[in-house]
C-alpha cells in the first residue's frame, strides 16, 4: 500500500475487523467497478441535500471514498477517483438545471448535454483537485492516517471556496447545506453559519464525516477499546458541540416581530419565451386579483416576484397606474421588473430590477441585479459565441452596481437581492448601511417540480442566519416565505401554488460574527486543520 495508507498493516496487527475487510475490498476494486462505485457514492452524497434531507449519508459517502482511494497508485489516480465522485454528486444534485431548457426545447435541445453532463463535468474538477492534492501531499510528506483525513477536509473545503469565487462563482450545494433542510435537529447545526459561515460549516461537516474512515485502518485493531473509539468520539463531538451551541443560540433568540405586515404574491405564471400581449395582460390580472384580496392586517407593502411586471414600468405609465392602485395606504407595491434605458439612448440596455411603486405611481426606489446568471441572462464572450441566452430576448442583460440598502418611509430598510444572488455568502448585504431585512425575489418556474426550488429556498435560509437578518422570499413559482434571523420558517408556500400570504416581518438580530469578519474565520479553520497534518507524520 502507498505511504500514509489507512490500510498499511503494522507487524502483529489484526486485520479481520469487518470495516477493515470492507476497506480492503474497496481499495482492491479496479476499472469500471472502482469509478462506478465512486460515482454512486457521489450521487449518494447529493441525497443529503434538500429536498431528500438524508443528512447521515455523509458518514457513508466520505469514508468509503477514502477507502476507495487507498487503491490509487498516485496523485493522478486519486484525482480521477475524485472526479468520478464529484461527477456523480453534481449530476444528481444539479440535474434540475436541464428543466429550464424544456421551456423552449425546440431552440435549446442542443444545450441539454451541456446542462446534464457538461456543467457537472466542469465542477467535478474541483473535487478531483481536492482528492488529488490530498494524495500527493500525503505520499510526499508521509502523513499519518489521521493527518490524511484532516488534510482531505481542508482540501475539500478550500476547493468549495474556490468554486464559489472563481469564474463568477457557483457555490451551489456546498456540503454544509446538508444541514439546511428538514433533517431533525439540523437547524441547530445550521446556527454555526452565524459565526463561521457556510464554508466553515462545510469544513466541520467533511472533517466529521471523514473521520470514521479511520475505522478501516488495521493500526487501530491492536489498540485498547478506548483509543480505537477515538475517531468516532471525535466525529460525534464535531457535530454535537456546534449543535449544542446552536441550540443555545436558538433558545436565547426567541422570534420577535416588527409589527409590519407584508403580502407575498405567488402567481405561478408559466414561462413565455416570446412576447404575447394577451398573455401579459392575463398575468397582470392574476397579480392584481391576488393583490387586491382583503387583508386582516394593515399592510406595509405587497411584494411581487422576479419579473412579475410584464412591462417596462419606467416607460409605461398606464401599467404603473394600474399597479399603483393596488398599493396599501401609505405603502408600496415592490415588484421584480425589467428596466430599459430611456428611449433614444444607444446602445439599448436592459436590467433585471426590483422597483418600489407608491400609491401615486411614482417609482420610489430601484435595485438592478448585479450578479447575473451566465448563459441565462447573458452569454460570456458573446462576440465569439453565436448563441442566445436562455431567458427571453436577444439583448444580454446589464449588471447593476452592486449591493445597496433601500430605505423607504414606513418600512424598515432592506437589502434587495434577485434570484440566485442569494447563493453567494457574504455578498447580500451592504455592511456600510446595514439593513433590517433581506428581500429576495425570484422565479423558479423554470425548474418545475424538481429539487432546484427546494435547494434554492434552503440556501436562502442560510443567508438569513449568516447575517442575523430576516429574509423575505417571493417566488413566481417555487417556494415563497419568511425566514427569521435564526433560520426559523415563519411562513412558506407550496410549490406550484397560486396564492398569496400575509405575513409579519420578523425583527433583526444584531450583527453576527460572520457579518463582521466574513470568511476570515473559515480561513483560520483551514489553518487549524493543517496542524494535524504538520504534527501527525509517520515516523
Among 169, 242, 164, 244, residue whose Cα is nearest residue 207: 242
Q: Is 369 a catalytic residue?
A: yes
Cα dihedral 494, 495, 498, 499 in deg (nearest 10): 30
- What CA–CA distance (Å, rounded) separates 427 from 137? 33
- CB atoms inside a 10 Å sphere around CB 225: 6
Enumerate the β-bridge partners of residue 437: 414
Which class for 311: exposed (0-12), middle (13-18), buried (19 or more C-beta within 10 A)? middle
* Cell reading at 443: 422565479
- Clarify whether 20 is annotated catalytic: no
| Catalytic annotation, pick one of 20, 70, 369, 515 | 369
CA end-to-end span of the chain: 16
DSSP 143: B
Least Cα distance to 486 among 222, 214, 304, 248 occurs for 248
Round to whole Å and give the CA distance between 224 and 220.
8
Residue pair 336/329 in contact by the 8 Å Cβ criterion: no
Q: Quote the CA–CA distance of 199 and 161 in Å, as a whole number.
A: 7
Beta carbons of 458 and 190 less than 8 angstroms apart: no
* φ, ψ at 259 (rounded to 5°): 90, -5
Name the active-site residue from 283, 355, 389, 419.
Answer: 419
With left for phi above 0 and alpha for psi between -120 and 50, is residue 268 left, alpha or beta?
left
Q: In b/e form, how buried is each residue of 404-413, taking b as 16+ CB within 10 angstroms?
A: bbbebeebbe
437-442 and 489-492 beta bridge pairing: unpaired
The rounded distance, in Å, linking the Cα atoms of 532 and 144 is 9
What gap in Å lies between CA 88 and CA 124, rounded to an integer? 9
In a 3-state reduction of DSSP, which class is residue 21? helix
Catalytic residue (one of 306, 355, 466, 467): 306
What are the phi and psi torsion angles at 269 (to 5°)? -75, 145
Name the one residue in this structure whose C-alpha cell is 406550484.
Answer: 496
Q: Report the distance separating Cα 428 and Cα 466, nearest Å.
A: 10
419 is catalytic: yes
CA distance 261 to 421: 25
Residues with a catalytic annotation lie at: 306, 369, 419
Amino acid at each position: 500500500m502507498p505511504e500514509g495508507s489507512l490500510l498499511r498493516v503494522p507487524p502483529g496487527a489484526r486485520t479481520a475487523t469487518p470495516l477493515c475487510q470492507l476497506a480492503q475490498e474497496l481499495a482492491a476494486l479496479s476499472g469500471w467497478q472502482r469509478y462506478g462505485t465512486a460515482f454512486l457514492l457521489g450521487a449518494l452524497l447529493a441525497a443529503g441535500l434538500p429536498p431528500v434531507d438524508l443528512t447521515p449519508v455523509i458518514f457513508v459517502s466520505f469514508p468509503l471514498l477514502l477507502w476507495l482511494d487507498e487503491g490509487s497508485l498516485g496523485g493522478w489516480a486519486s484525482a480521477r477517483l475524485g472526479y468520478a465522485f464529484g461527477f456523480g454528486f453534481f449530476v444528481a444534485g444539479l440535474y434540475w438545471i436541464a428543466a429550464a431548457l424544456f421551456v423552449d426545447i425546440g431552440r435549446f435541445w442542443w444545450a441539454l448535454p451541456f446542462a446534464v453532463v457538461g456543467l457537472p463535468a466542469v465542477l467535478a474538477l474541483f473535487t478531483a483537485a481536492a482528492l488529488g492534492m490530498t494524495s500527493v501531499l500525503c505520499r510526499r510528506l508521509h502523513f499519518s492516517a489521521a493527518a490524511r483525513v484532516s488534510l482531505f477536509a481542508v482540501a475539500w473545503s478550500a476547493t468549495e471556496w474556490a468554486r464559489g469565487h472563481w469564474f463568477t462563482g457557483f457555490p451551489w450545494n456546498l456540503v454544509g447545506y446538508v444541514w439546511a433542510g428538514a433533517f431533525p435537529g439540523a437547524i441547530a447545526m445550521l446556527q454555526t453559519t452565524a459565526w463561521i459561515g457556510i464554508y466553515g460549516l462545510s469544513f466541520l461537516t467533511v472533517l466529521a464525516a471523514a473521520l470514521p474512515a479511520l475505522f478501516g485502518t488495521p493500526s487501530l485493531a491492536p489498540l485498547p477499546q478506548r483509543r480505537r473509539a477515538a475517531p468516532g468520539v471525535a466525529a460525534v463531538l464535531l457535530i454535537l458541540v456546534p449543535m449544542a451551541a446552536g441550540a443555545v443560540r436558538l433558545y436565547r433568540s426567541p422570534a420577535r416581530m416588527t409589527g409590519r405586515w407584508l403580502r407575498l404574491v405567488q402567481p405561478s405564471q408559466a414561462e413565455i419565451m416570446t412576447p404575447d400581449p394577451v398573455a401579459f395582460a392575463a398575468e397582470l390580472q392574476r397579480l392584481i386579483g391576488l393583490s387586491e384580496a382583503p387583508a386582516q392586517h394593515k399592510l406595509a407593502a405587497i411584494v411581487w416576484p422576479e419579473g412579475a411586471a410584464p412591462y417596462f414600468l419606467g416607460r409605461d405609465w398606464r401599467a404603473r397606474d394600474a399597479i399603483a392602485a393596488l398599493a396599501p395606504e401609505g405603502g408600496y407595491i415592490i415588484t421584480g421588473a425589467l428596466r430599459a434605458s430611456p428611449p433614444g439612448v444607444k446602445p439599448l440596455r436592459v436590467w433585471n430590477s426590483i422597483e418600489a411603486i407608491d400609491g401615486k405611481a411614482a417609482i420610489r426606489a430601484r435595485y438592478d441585479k448585479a450578479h447575473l446568471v451566465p448563459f441565462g441572462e447573458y452569454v460570456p464572450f458573446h462576440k465569439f459565441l453565436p448563441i442566445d441566452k436562455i431567458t427571453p430576448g436577444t439583448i444580454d442583460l446589464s449588471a447593476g452596481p452592486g449591493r445597496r440598502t433601500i430605505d423607504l418611509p414606513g418600512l424598515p430598510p432592506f437589502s434587495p437581492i434577485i434570484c440566485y444572488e442569494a447563493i453567494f455568502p457574504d455578498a447580500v448585504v451592504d455592511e456600510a448601511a446595514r439593513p433590517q431585512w433581506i428581500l429576495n425575489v425570484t422565479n423558479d418556474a423554470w425548474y418545475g417540480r424538481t429539487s432546484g426550488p427546494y435547494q434554492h429556498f434552503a440556501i436562502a435560509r442560510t443567508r438569513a442566519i449568516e447575517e442575523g437578518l430576516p429574509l423575505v422570499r417571493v417566488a413566481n413559482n417555487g417556494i415563497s416565505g419568511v425566514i427569521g434571523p435564526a433560520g426559523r420558517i415563519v411562513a412558506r408556500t407550496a410549490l406550484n401554488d397560486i396564492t398569496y400570504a400575509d405575513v409579519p416581518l420578523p425583527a433583526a438580530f444584531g450583527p453576527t460574527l460572520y457579518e463582521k469578519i466574513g470568511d476570515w474565520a473559515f480561513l483560520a479553520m483551514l489553518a487549524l486543520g493543517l496542524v494535524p497534518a504538520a504534527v501527525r507524520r509517520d515516523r
